[in-house]
């Protein structure tokens, strides 16, 4: 199911990974944040695109999302340095 879900279709895999990143923020799933940020980067997402997906997650989850966003930003910076 995962393979089919994230395959290019009407939405590109990159876009789906960005959506999943925002959902990961809203649900506070740290392992999901790690996975989807890395997958988005692997699909060519820019730092700015990932930050915007993090911002959407904050918007959709309110205050708790800002806590998740700190973790996500650390993940993003880690992957950008390797």
pTM of the model: 0.93
Enumerate the domain spans of the chain: 12-81
pLDDT of residue 35: 97
CATH class for the region spanning 12-81: mainly alpha
Give whole-number Cα distances, 65 to 2, 40, 52, 53, in Å: 25, 19, 13, 12
Distances (CA, A) of 75 to 28, 59, 71: 14, 19, 6
Tens digits of residue pLDDT in 2-35: 899 999 999 999 999 999 999 999 999 999 999 9
Mean pLDDT within 47-69:
95
Average pLDDT, the chain: 96
Determine the 3-state secondary structure of 75 from DSSP.
helix
């Amino acid at each position: 199911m995962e393979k089919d879900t994230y395959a290019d279709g009407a939405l590109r895999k990159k876009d789906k990974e960005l959506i999943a990143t925002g959902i990961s923020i809203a649900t506070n799933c740290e392992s999901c944040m790690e996975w989807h940020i890395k997958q988005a980067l692997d699909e060519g997402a820019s730092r700015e695109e990932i930050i915007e997906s993090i911002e959407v997650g904050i918007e959709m989850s309110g205050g708790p999302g800002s806590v998740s966003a700190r973790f996500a930003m650390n993940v993003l910076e880690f992957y950008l340095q390797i």
